[in-house]
Chain A
Amino acid sequence: MQNQSPLLVVKNLKTYFPSGKAWFGKQNYIKAVDGVSLRINRNEIIGLVGESGSGKTTLGRSILRLTASNQGEIIFKGNDILALKGSALRAIRKEIQLIFQDPYASLSPRLQIRKLIAEPLLLHNIVPEAMVDQRVSELLEEVGLENYFKDRYPHEMSGGQRQRIAIARVLALQPELIIADEPVSALDVSVTAQILNLLKEIQKKNSMSVLFISHDLKVIAHMADRILVMYAGRIIEEGMTQDLLTHPLHPYTKLLIASIPSYENRNTTRRINQQKKSDQQYSAKNGCPFVGRCAEAQSVCKQIYPHLKESKGNRFVACHFN
C-alpha cells in the first residue's frame, strides 16, 4: 500500500483572504490555509479536524478550486489541478465531489428528488437517457431511501434524508474522492450515526477516498484511517488514527482530546483554565501559532516557528518539544 501512488498530493498550499483596507502600507491577509501539504491514498478515509476558523473548509474548497489559492500544488492522479483549464478541469471536478454540512443549500428547492438525482447523471452523460430513471432508483436504494421519495421535494424531507439525497447525487458521478465537509454537524445524534454508517458503507463498496472534515474529534476517530490536525491554517499533527489518539504528540491535539466531555471527566474541574494566563490570545509573529494557549510553551516557542517534521513511527508533528 505504501508504494502505490497516492490519489491526491497537496504541496505547500496557501490560500489567503485580504482583510481590512489597504490604505497606507501593506495589505493584511487572513492566512486561512498557510502552507499545507498532505497526501490522500486510494481507498483511504483521511480525517481533518480542528476548531472553527482553523481553515478546514477553505482547504477543502481550495482542493476543488472553488476558492482560489495563492501558491502551491494540487496533484490529482498526476495532474496539477491548479494548472488545468476548461474541459480538463471539468473532468477532474467530476472525480472529486463535495458533501456539505447543510444539504438544503445545495439542493434546488423547486426540483423533485427524481430530477435532483438525474441532474448529474444527465449533465455528465453517465447513463443513456432511457436508463436514467432506473439509475435514480438504484441510487435511492443505495442511500437507503424508498422509491416513493422520487416524487418529493427537498423541503418535505428531514435533514438526514436530505443528506442522503446529497450523497446519492455525489454517488451518481462515481467520484474517486469525496470531500465531506462537516456532513453530520447539523444532524441529530441518531441520524448522525445513520449517515456515518452510510458514508462508510459507500466508501468501502466503491473503494473511494474521502477527505472527511469535522470539528468533532469523536466523529473523526470513528471514520478516519489517518488523521490530520489543523490549527491556524496549518497541519500541526498527522498520524494513523489509533496512534494519534492513544499517543497524541502536539499539545493542541492533547487539548482536543482532554476537552471531550465524558463521564471520566466528572471530577476534573478547571483542567483547561488553569493553563490560561490571559483572555487576550497572544500570537507570536514568527513563533508557534499555538504559543498563547500552550501549557508546554518555552521561550523559544515565541521566536521560532516549529515546522511539521517526522517523528518516530510514521508520525508528523509541528512542535519544538514533542
Chain B
Amino acid sequence: MLLEVTNLRTSFFLDNGELKAVDDISFSIEEKQTLAIVGESGCGKTVAAMSILNLVSLPGRIISGRVNFEGANLLELNNDKLCDIRGRKIGMVFQEPASSLNPVFTIGAQLRETLVRHTQLNKHEISARAIKLLGDMDFKEPENWVNAYPHQLSGGMKQRAAIALAMCTQPKLLIADEPTTALDVTVQAEILDLLKFLKEEHEMAMLLISHDLGVVAELADRVTVMYAGKQFENASLEHILTVAKHPYTQGLLKSMLHLDTINNDFLEVIPGSVPDLLDLPKGCSFHPRCSLKESICQEHVPKISLHKNNTLCACHLVTNQY
C-alpha cells in the first residue's frame, strides 16, 4: 500500500464552535492506483488532502489519525523529512494553477529551481530536463515556452506548467485538487488526457479531488464519497457507477447530467442542500434529505462498515448482506 489514511480527523476551532471538516475518514491508495474523493462543495475534500500532507494551519488542527506513506506516518515526521517527502515523492496540483506558479519567475526558472533542489543533475542537464518536461506536458515548441512568465500563458497552459512542476521529481503520488474545474471543457479534456498519460507513463498513483462524477469516471479506479466531513461510501469505480448502495451516492448519480438526458424529462433530485458543518443534523447528517430515512437515522450516526467486495458504506439501511 502506497498511502494509508486511518481515522483522520481535522477540525477548525472557530468562535462559534468546532467545525469538523474531516470527521474520521479512512482510505488507502495502492501503487499506480487513482482514488477520487467526490462530494459537493464544503464537504471536506480539500481539508482532507491538506491533512494528508500535514499542511493544516490554525484555526485548523489535525486531531487524530495516521497517514502512512511508504511506511512512515506523515503526521509524526519532523519537518525536514516531511518537506523532503512532499517535495520529491508527492506532487500537488490545485484548481488555481496560480497557487503553484510564482508570477515573477519564468516557467523555466521555476522548473530549474525545483530540479536543482531535488536532483543531482548538472546545470546543462537541468536546462535540458526543464524543456523536456514542458514537451512532455504537450507544450509545442517547449524551448520557447520555458522563457515565458505565467501571465503569458493561457489557463490550460498554466495548469500544464503547474503539472510539469509537480512532475519534476517523478513523484509516486500526485494529489490533484479539482485540477480542471476552472477550465473550459475542451481545455479540461486536454488536462484529463495529459493526466491519464502521465499516470501510465510514470506508473504514478493519484489522489483526485473532484465534484464532477464525469471527471471521476474518466480517471479514477476507486472512489470515496464524502458528505459533510464524513465518508459515506468507498468502493471501486465500477461499483459506484453501477451498484452504489448509499442513498447519497445514488442521489448524486441520478442528478448527474449526460448528453443522452436530452429530453423533456425532469431529473430525480436530492432535495435541500449540504448542511452547515457547524450545525449538523443529529444522527445521519444526510437524513433531512434522505427519502429512505427511518427513525434510527435521526438518532444515531451510522458507522462505516465493511461489506462484500471490499466496499465501505455508512448507512443504517445498508446491511452486511449486500
Which residues of A pack against B, CB within 8 Å?
A: 51-52, 158-161, 188-194, 196-197, 200-201, 215-219, 221-222, 241-242, 245, 255-263, 265-266, 268-273, 276-279
B218 & A265 in contact (Cβ 8 Å cutoff): yes
CB of B259 within 8 Å of the partner chain: yes
How far is it, in angstroms, between the C-alpha of A222 and the C-alpha of B190 when the chains are bound? Answer: 24
Task: Please report whether the interface of chain A is mostly helix, strand, loop or mixed according to DSSP.
Answer: helix
CB of B252 within 8 Å of the partner chain: yes
A188 & B273 in contact (Cβ 8 Å cutoff): yes
A190 & B241 in contact (Cβ 8 Å cutoff): no
How far is it, in angstroms, between the C-alpha of A16 and the C-alpha of B139 when the chains are bound? Answer: 32
B266 & A190 in contact (Cβ 8 Å cutoff): no
A188, A189, A193, A257 — most chain B CB neighbours (10 Å): A189
Contact residue among A189, A258, A259, A260 (Cβ-Cβ distance under 8 Å from B255): A189
Interface string of B245-276 (1 = CB under 8 A from A): 00000011011111111111011111101100
B40, B154, B255 — most chain A CB neighbours (10 Å): B255
Interface size on B, residues (CB 8 A): 52
A190 & B269 in contact (Cβ 8 Å cutoff): yes
B269 & A279 in contact (Cβ 8 Å cutoff): no
Contacts of B270 in A (CB 8 A): 190, 193
Which residues of B pack against A, CB within 8 Å?
A: 40-41, 138-141, 145, 154, 157, 184-186, 188-190, 192-194, 196-197, 200, 211-215, 217-219, 237, 241, 251-252, 254-264, 266-271, 273-274
How far is it, in angstroms, between the C-alpha of A160 and the C-alpha of B274 when the chains are bound? Answer: 11
A222 & B262 in contact (Cβ 8 Å cutoff): yes
Please give the distance in Å from A256's CB to the nearest CB on chain B: 6
Tally of contacts, chain A with chain B, CB under 8 A: 138
How far is it, in angstroms, between the C-alpha of A277 and the C-alpha of B141 when the chains are bound? Answer: 9
Contact residue among A190, A241, A259, A265 (Cβ-Cβ distance under 8 Å from B185): A259
Contacts of A266 in B (CB 8 A): 196, 217-219
Please give the distance in Å from A244's CB to the nearest CB on chain B: 10
Contacts of A265 in B (CB 8 A): 192, 218
How far is it, in angstroms, between the C-alpha of A15 and the C-alpha of B45 when the chains are bound? Answer: 42
B266 & A197 in contact (Cβ 8 Å cutoff): yes
How far is it, in angstroms, between the C-alpha of A193 and the C-alpha of B273 when the chains are bound? Answer: 11
How far is it, in angstroms, between the C-alpha of A216 and the C-alpha of B190 when the chains are bound? Answer: 16
Contacts of A279 in B (CB 8 A): 139-141, 145, 154, 157
How far is it, in angstroms, between the C-alpha of A286 and the C-alpha of B25 when the chains are bound? Answer: 58
A269 & B196 in contact (Cβ 8 Å cutoff): yes
Q: Which residue of B lies closest to A161 (CB)?
A: B273
A259 & B211 in contact (Cβ 8 Å cutoff): no
How far is it, in angstroms, between the C-alpha of A276 and the C-alpha of B190 when the chains are bound? Answer: 10
Contacts of A241 in B (CB 8 A): 262
Given contact pairs A189-B252, A256-B186, A272-B190, enumerate 14 new A-B contacts (beta carbons under 8 Å). Answer: A52-B184, A158-B273, A160-B273, A188-B273, A189-B40, A190-B40, A216-B257, A221-B262, A259-B185, A260-B185, A261-B188, A262-B258, A266-B196, A279-B145
